Every structure is written in structure tokens, then in C-alpha cells.
């Protein structure tokens, strides 16, 4: 089981974006030394203070100069009309160069109405835009020359610089919440990063099973297939005791959950997001942290022993890597949590830790 980190530059009162970015660089540098597998951020717009990273590849390039081993995965690049797939590919190739081959990419179609409205995209358009952009990326990964005539993008023949080596291009994943998207990811033979929307372990297992069942019978979209199954943990915090971990992270855990409810309840009423109707079942537990800790994979708060127990369970379900959102609390607390996970959890759950430690 690999253990990665996802952060979104959440700023505390009195902290600027500039300070938070510098703090994140220090946090990733520590995670790199302690054997964490992956670090990345989401691409978010117009949503402070919880989300402040709108140009992730720029931040990654800076972080790459302070680290040696940890992978950088954009989580996720929103492949809609404001992010032309050629520009996404060019930035990814540049990041791969400056990080010495540590770049990866997760993709997504946005579920944020505030963002979609600002960029002039309707929720009903996101599926086609994402799909056509993925086809463009596949062609770029396959060779230096690109020509494309799709439903969204019309691109005359051009040479892409920098380019990628076929079969060794950065791994591609997609963010997924629905069983349908997990199935599609399996059919395309790309990796998947599951966010199960707090629906619980049974729902997570349905997503995993759908992905694994579709993968063997599908056809690889990209030149390099990727069978990765990851899990996004929306709030994670580790402390010496479960009580201390809950005390420090209570506000961010409940605040993020409330954000999800506020975001997804309206979406559940729109035609492209029917599956989100299930999230209404969670409204009764809006302020119940104990429920979130015990009943959903989206929250991992507790002691190192609690983390190991949860990670073992997720591994048995078929998860390859957890992506812990350790954010929204003071920098000093984040550093302590990363230190504790890196020294008491990662060495136990990651069979590659001894190799990492020797490097």
C-alpha cells in the first residue's frame, strides 16, 4: 500500500497564499524524505480559502527542486475548454523534464458549478469535452506529430515540443466518483482515483469491483496502460492518540464535508449527475465526526495504529494507494502529522519502504 498526499493550499485566518505555498514546499520536502509515494494538488478556481492552487504545474516545478524521489501528480487537470489539451501536455512534459521523470497526470471534468459558469461550460458539455481532450492527449503521447478532428477540438498537423517517449509517457488517471466512471476508466485502461463521496465502504467496493471487472476486457486509450486504483481521503490527520487527532482536525473535517454537501446536493438535481442523489442520505450526519471517521473511507483521523488498521482494510479491498488530504490545519500540525505517518505508518504498510529508505 502506497501512501501519498493531496493538498489544496487551504489558508488559515491570517495566512496568505504566498505563505501557504512556502509551507507546502516544506511539507512536501519532509514527505519526500519519509517515503511518501506521491504529492499533488487539485486544480481549483474561485474557491478560497479552502482551495487556492489554480496553476498546479507552476507550483510543482518549484517543489521539484526541493525533492528527489516523490512523484508529482496533477490531481486533477480539468480537461475542459479552458485547458487546451496541447497546453496541458506541454506543461506536463516540461514538469517531467525539470523533475527528472517524476510527473504524472490525473484528469477530471469539473463538478463545481461556480467554475463551470465562470468559464462558460454547461454541466451537460463536460463529458464530451473531457473525452475529446483525452483523445488529443493520447495522440500527443503516441508521437511528436499531432493532427485531430474531433467534436470539440479541430487541430491541424503540428509538432509538439517537448514531446514524450511512447510507452514511457507519464501515467494517466482519472478522478471518479460514480460506478459508471470507474467502469469507463477500466475500459480505457487508465488509472482511477476514487472519491466515494462519503457513501461508505460498500459503495467503494462497488467502484473498485466495477473498475477491475472492466479493465481486462477494455482497450488501452493511451500508449501506456495504467491499472492503478487509488483512493482520495478528503480529510486525514494523524496524532499520537485518536482524541488528539480529532481535536486538531474536527473543524476541517466537518467543514470539508459541509462543502461537499453544499456542492453536490445542487448537482444531484442536474441531469449529468444523477448518481449524486445518494449524497442526500448523509445530510443527517452533517456534524457527526464519529460517523465520518468510522463509516466512510473519505475521512482518516486517528493514531498510527488506527491508520495502519484502515490502510490494511483498504488494501484488502483492492486499493493500491491512498491520497491523504492533510491540509486546513496549522503548518506545524501538518508537519507533525506527516512526520508521524512517515515514521510509524509508511514503514509498516509499504513493502517498498526499505528500498526507499536506502536511497
pLDDT digits 0-9 by tens, 201-222 = 999 999 999 999 999 999 999 9
pLDDT value at residue 249: 98
Q: What is the pLDDT of residue 268?
A: 64
The SS3 of residue 83 is coil
- HSE-CB at 63 with a 13 A cutoff on CA atoms is 33
Residue 8 DSSP SS3:
coil
Q: Which pLDDT value is given to residue 165?
A: 84
Which pLDDT belongs to residue 275?
53
pLDDT of residue 279: 73
H-type alpha helices, the chain: 17-34, 56-64, 85-98, 113-118, 126-142, 179-188, 201-214, 242-267, 289-295, 304-317, 331-344, 346-349, 353-358
What are the pLDDT digits (tens) for 40-73? 999 999 999 999 999 999 999 999 999 999 999 9
Of 159, 152, 171, 161, the residue nearest 221 (C-alpha): 171
Distance CA 54, CA 9 (A): 10
Residue 205 cell numbers, joined:
467496493
Is domain 2-358 given the CATH code 3.20.20.30 in the classification? Answer: yes
Q: Residue 270 has what pLDDT?
A: 64
242 is written with which cell numbers?
Answer: 485518536
SS3 185: helix
pLDDT reported for residue 267: 65
For position 277, what pLDDT does the model report?
60
Q: How far apart are CA 337 and CA 334, in angstroms?
A: 5
φ/ψ of 209, rounded to 5, equals -65, -40
What is the reported pLDDT for 283? 84
Q: Tell which residue, 178, 173, 210, 209, has the closest CA to residue 189.
A: 173
The segments of the chain whose pLDDT lies below 70 read 266-278, 354-359
Start-to-end C-alpha separation, the chain = 19
Identify the pLDDT of residue 354: 65
Amino acid at each position: 500500500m502506497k501512501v501519498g498526499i493531496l493538498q489544496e493550499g487551504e489558508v488559515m485566518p491570517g495566512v496568505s497564499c504566498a505563505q501557504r505555498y512556502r509551507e507546502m514546499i516544506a511539507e512536501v520536502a519532509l514527505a519526500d524524505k519519509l517515503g511518501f509515494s506521491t504529492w499533488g494538488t487539485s486544480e481549483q478556481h474561485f474557491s478560497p480559502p479552502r482551495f487556492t492552487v489554480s496553476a498546479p504545474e507552476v507550483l510543482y516545478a518549484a517543489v521539484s527542486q526541493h525533492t528527489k524521489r516523490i512523484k508529482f501528480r496533477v490531481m486533477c487537470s480539468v480537461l475542459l475548454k479552458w485547458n487546451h489539451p496541447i497546453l496541458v501536455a506541454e506543461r506536463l512534459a516540461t514538469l517531467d523534464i525539470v523533475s527528472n521523470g517524476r510527473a504524472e497526470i490525473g484528469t477530471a471534468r469539473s463538478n463545481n458549478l461556480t467554475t463551470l459558469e465562470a468559464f462558460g461550460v454547461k454541466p451537460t458539455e463536460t463529458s464530451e469535452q473531457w473525452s475529446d481532450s483525452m483523445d488529443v492527449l493520447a495522440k500527443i503521447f503516441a508521437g511528436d506529430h499531432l493532427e485531430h478532428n474531433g467534436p470539440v477540438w479541430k487541430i491541424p498537423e503540428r509538432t509538439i515540443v517537448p514531446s514524450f517517449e511512447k510507452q514511457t509517457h507519464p501515467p494517466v488517471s482519472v478522478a471518479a466518483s460514480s460506478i459508471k466512471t470507474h467502469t469507463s476508466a477500466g475500459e480505457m485502461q487508465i488509472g482511477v482515483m476514487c472519491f466515494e463521496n462519503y457513501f461508505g465502504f460498500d459503495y467503494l467496493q462497488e467502484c473498485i469491483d466495477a473498475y477491475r471487472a472492466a479493465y481486462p476486457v477494455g482497450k488501452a486509450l493511451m500508449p501506456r496502460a495504467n491499472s492503478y486504483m487509488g483512493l482520495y481521503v478528503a480529510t486525514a490527520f494523524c496524532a499520537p492518540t485518536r482524541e488528539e487527532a480529532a481535536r486538531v482536525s474536527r473543524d476541517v473535517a466537518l467543514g470539508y464535508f459541509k462543502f461537499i454537501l453544499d456542492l453536490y446536493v445542487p448537482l444531484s438535481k442536474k441531469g449529468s449527475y444523477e448518481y449524486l442523489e445518494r449524497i442526500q442520505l448523509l445530510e443527517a450526519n452533517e456534524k457527526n465526526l464519529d460517523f465520518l471517521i468510522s463509516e466512510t473511507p473519505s475521512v482518516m483521523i486517528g493514531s498510527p495504529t488506527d491508520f495502519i488498521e484502515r490502510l490494511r482494510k483498504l488494501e484488502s479491498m483492492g486499493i493500491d494507494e491512498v491520497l491523504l488530504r492533510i491540509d486546513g490545519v496549522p503548518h506545524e500540525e501538518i508537519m507533525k502529522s506527516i512526520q508521524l505517518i512517515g515514521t510509524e505508518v509508511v514503514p509498516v504498510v509499504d513493502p517498498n519502504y526499505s528500498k526507499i529508505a536506502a536511497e
